[in-house]
Every structure is written in C-alpha cells, then in structure tokens.
Chains A and B, each alone.
Chain A
C-alpha cells in the first residue's frame, strides 16, 4: 500500500496539499501517483505570480510511461516553485511528500482546503478506483 501521510489533504487528481503556518499551501503529487507514473524524466512547474483556479492544470510531469497534468487543488496565487525538480525530476519518485514538492500557493479562499479529502478518504478513494 502506498504511503498516505495523515496530516495532508488530497485531491481526486492525486495531488497532496499541506497547510503551512503562514497560511500558504504546499502542493505535490501523492506517493501513489508517482508510483503509477514510474520514473520521472521531465517536470514543468508554473511561474511564480500565476493565478490559478481550483482544478486548473498548472504543472506537468512526464515519466517514462506518460505525460500528465498536475492540477491546483485549490484556487490561489503561485508564490514559490520547486525549481530543483527541473534538474532532478527523480526527486518526486524518491520523496513525493518532502523534497519532491512542486509549488506553494496562497489560497484565495482558505476554506477550499476543507473540501479536499483527508488521508482516510483518499485511501478509500484509491481502493475504489482500483476496482
């Protein structure tokens, strides 16, 4: 079973979201997502300052199997991106919830985070998806 940290929120499109002390939200893709995609070869992160709507594609991950969009789990403004991923995309495979984070955004409606799944709900979602 893949790793699903209890302190994060999850989107149906397999992004995780972490609420930081300053109110911003850090986003990456789940361990399950990186496992399904396989070895990463390219990652494209959004520009800082970009305004994104919830569920809007804002990053791209390309693995040996497929190229996929990464969606913003909530609406907001991109305030920081993980530029290291451009040089070392494999970081997402190695540490999806840590060094493999993709971008940080300032949510336009902090309440939106509550609409995402918690770890238990995401685990059941993965179960249901695989049947």
Chain B
C-alpha cells in the first residue's frame, strides 16, 4: 500500500507541523504558492506505521546473508556512520572559510593519502559523486591526456567481454568507440586478440581485476606492456578492489587510472541512488588532468587546490567537492582498519569465497572455473540442472529467498550460462556460509523431487514471482490516483 492511499483530505500530523511553524508572514507575497502541494495527508501515527512496515519488508544485509556477486554487499560498521555524523562534521558548510574547516579538510587529505597508498597511485581526487562519475572522470582524463599530446587519432577503447556493462557505456559517453576483447577458456583476457587489436587508434583499455568471472587476470603485466607499447593507457575499474585490498596494488600492475566504489570497498551506504562517492586515482601521466578540487597540505594547514593551480584539470564534477559526508564514512572505516586490517579484508573475503566454492563443489555443484582459485567471488553454473531438471538460475535465486538468503547475482557475467555469481564478503561467519551451502543442497534436492517448488518460488515473501517483462515494459513509478 502506498502512503497516498492512506491520505484523507485535511488530515494533519500536528506534532510534526505546529501552527506557529506555518507562519508565512515574512515571506514575500510573490514567492508564496497559490495551489496546494500534491502531498499525502496522514496522521503522524499513520506515517510511522507505514514506514515501519515498509522497513520490515526490507531484505537487507542487516537482516539476511546477501551474497550478491560483483556488488560487495558487506556489513558497514555502525561506527562509520556515527562518527561521520558528529556535529562538527555535519554542520560544516562548503562555503565556510578553510580556516574554520581544518578538521574536515585534514580527514579528506588523509583519505586521499590512504587511497593513494592502498592503490599504488600517485594522486587521488575525491570529488566524483559516484562510481559512474568516477568512471567518467577516468576516461575523460585519458582523453585529455591524448589530446594534450596532439594525439587525437586515438578513438578506440578496448573492453574485455567480462567487463562490467558500465565500462562500454562510459567509453561511449566520452566519445570513444568500443572494441570488445574476448576471454580465453581459463578466464583470462585473450592475449592474441589483444595484440591484434591494439594500434595507433587505441586510447586505452578498461579492465576489472579480478574480473567479473571471479578470477585474477594473470597476464596483467603483459597486457599493460602491450597496451602501453601501443600508446594506450590502462583503466582499472575498482568494482572488485575488495579482493586485493592491501595485497596487490593496481598502480604496481601498470594501471594509469582507477576509480574506487567506496560503497563496495570502504563501507559507505550502498545503493538506493543515494549520495555516493567514486574517487579517482592516477599515475604520473594523468596527474595534471585530475578533477578539482583536491585537498592540499603545506605542513601547516590544509587547503583546496583548484583550476588556478591545476590548469590542465578536466574540471569540476559537482558544485562543491563531492559528497563529503560519504567520504567521511570511508575515512573512518579506513582509519579503523589500518594497514593490516585492510589486508585482512582481502584475505577473509577471498577465504570465504574459496570456502564456499569448495563446499559447493563437494556438494555436487558445477563451478565455472574449477581449475582456478576464486578471488572474492566465484561462479556456479546451473546449466546441467536446467537440462536435467528444467530449473534455471532464476528459479534457484527465487527459492533462496524462501530460505532467508538474498539471491546471488544471476545471469551476469553473460559469458557463463545459467550462472550465479556468489560473493560472500569478509564479514560473514562460518555458520552463515554453511547455512548457505545447506540451503543450496536442499534446493538441489527439491529440483530433483519437486521442481515446481522452485518454479513457483518465492512462497514466503510479501510478493510472489514478479512479471519482469511487464515491470520493464510498463514501468509505473508515479502515483496517479487522487491526492488528499
């Protein structure tokens, strides 16, 4: 039920809007609206019940195991939120002079330094307001670099077929054409095709390492050499940074630019379209093009660096300096972990994934790359089950909801048929991992004895199987009924 359906004309939540607060006497006449806003009219208690009940329908990391591959749905420590909401941080205003924001600026500067250190890059800008904007900034810098050298003929970005869908989209947004590079049988980039594909038209390559196939790209140094020799640059998509945090550094692999999804790796709020942060890190070649502002430090005080100091910058990406409150959460997280803690993130994320992969393999499931060690995630393919029992990856995913487990990522990457991309993350206990294996084994038994139980799942949720075709074709997000 929507909040609008509770609405009755004239009903008020008086405690929330005392009459004195509605005094508009000091607002100029021409600024007052004539028509009433189309807002639902409910009592305070109705509003409380409505939103509490909605929140109880949430299927989230706070309530359930959430092994959504390629998304790193790990637990965000509450302290990140609490400390970032200290009044001194919350009340800070972007127009306040630097001298009154030294504490905030110090945190942002230190976050820049920590992200540089953990990625092996030479400079970091925190300003991109989300992962997508970070990607855009990264490729825009590659473009600015080639143009600054008068090398404008480089029109093509290489993207492996195991890449995130956002990579070709970003390259296209930045005015490049995309050439897809296939993956070999072992899950690595096909080097022979890569060598044939590079040339004076190559602007760069966008890579995720570990890839979305859940394996580490073993030929990364050779890939870097091939692309660099052709005059192209290497872009690192930070989607899977959690797997290698503090263990291997993209800068050392030869990458020239990286974007980081702080919501995946550094414990900032995830999804929902809310405020995000997608900092970019660069090597020496791209340093002059970094988006502004960045925070500087002269040993005495912290200050903003803008276009006047960095004239070759690709410019500003938002009105101020990015989502500072979100960055503060990442800062607290990084500080709490420290250098050793970051390594443990990667170690336990990888250990948990390999434990799950080994147990599911022993239980009879087929994994996509059985000969490879998993990184922080791995792929189960249910192709055999589809053939033998007529059940699909989607049926397994929906049935897992009945076992109180969020579904893993389904049908991505597209290279593997009927796939589940499973990422347990470092924050799950052995008991929770075992419960997932048990649920998968039970569902497999059901697939053999009562497949309709899978086909009709979920049985225990507020909504049953959704009509995805209708949802995509007849998207309806606007209340069109009466208001008030």
Interface residues, chain A, CB within 8 Å of chain B?
A: 36, 38-42, 62, 64-68, 90, 130
Contacts and interface: CB of A to CB of B under 8 A. Distances in A.
B411 interface: yes
Contacts of B411: 38, 65-66
Given A65-B411, A66-B411, A130-B383, A36 B417 contact: yes
A39 B394 CA distance: 13
A36 B417 CA distance: 8
Nearest to A68: B414
* Closest 4 pairs between A and B when the two form their complex, measured CB to CB: A41-B472, A64-B468, A65-B411, A39-B469
Nearest to B473: A41
B156 to A, nearest CB: 14
Contacts of B383: 130
Nearest to B393: A65
16 contacts: A38-B411, A39-B468, A40-B469, A41-B473, A42-B472, A62-B472, A64-B468, A64-B469, A64-B472, A66-B411, A66-B412, A66-B414, A67-B165, A68-B414, A90-B469, A130-B383
Contact of A41 (B165, B410, B417, B469): B469
A62 B469 CA distance: 10
A67 B411 CA distance: 12
A113 B411 CA distance: 32
Interface string B374-393: 00000000010000000000
B185 to A, nearest CB: 9
Contacts of B473: 41-42
Contacts of A90: 469
Contacts of A42: 472-473
Contacts of B410: 65
B266 to A, nearest CB: 29
A40 B411 CA distance: 15
Nearest to B413: A66
Contacts of B469: 39-41, 64, 90
Nearest to A62: B472
Interface in B114-171: 165
A68 B412 CA distance: 13
Contacts of A62: 472
A40 B468 CA distance: 10
A128 to B, nearest CB: 11
A61 to B, nearest CB: 12
Contacts of B472: 41-42, 62, 64
Contacts of A41: 468-469, 472-473
Interface in B451-484: 468-469, 472-473
Nearest to A90: B469
A124 B417 CA distance: 17
Contacts of A40: 469
A39 B467 CA distance: 10
A39 B417 CA distance: 15
A65 B417 CA distance: 11
B444 to A, nearest CB: 21
Contacts of B468: 39, 41, 64
Contacts of A66: 411-412, 414
A64 B410 CA distance: 11
Given A39-B468, A40-B469, A66-B411, 5 more contacts: A42-B473, A62-B472, A67-B165, A68-B414, A130-B383
Interface in B224-238: none
Nearest to A64: B468
Contacts of B417: 36, 130
A20 B411 CA distance: 36
Q: Which of B165, B411, B412 has the most CB of A within 10 A?
A: B411
A14 to B, nearest CB: 12
A40 B469 CA distance: 7
A42 B475 CA distance: 13
Nearest to A41: B472
A66 B165 CA distance: 10
Q: In this complex, which of A39, A62, A67 has the most chain B Cβ atoms within 10 angstroms of its Cβ?
A: A39
A90 B469 CA distance: 9
A36 B165 CA distance: 18
Interface string B387-423: 0000000000000000000000011101001000000
A64 B412 CA distance: 12
A40 B470 CA distance: 10
Nearest to B180: A69
A41 B474 CA distance: 10
A131 to B, nearest CB: 9
A64 B467 CA distance: 10
B166 to A, nearest CB: 12
A41 to B, nearest CB: 4
Nearest to A40: B469
A36 B393 CA distance: 12
B219 to A, nearest CB: 23
A60 to B, nearest CB: 12
A36 to B, nearest CB: 7
B272 to A, nearest CB: 22
Nearest to A93: B469
A94 to B, nearest CB: 13
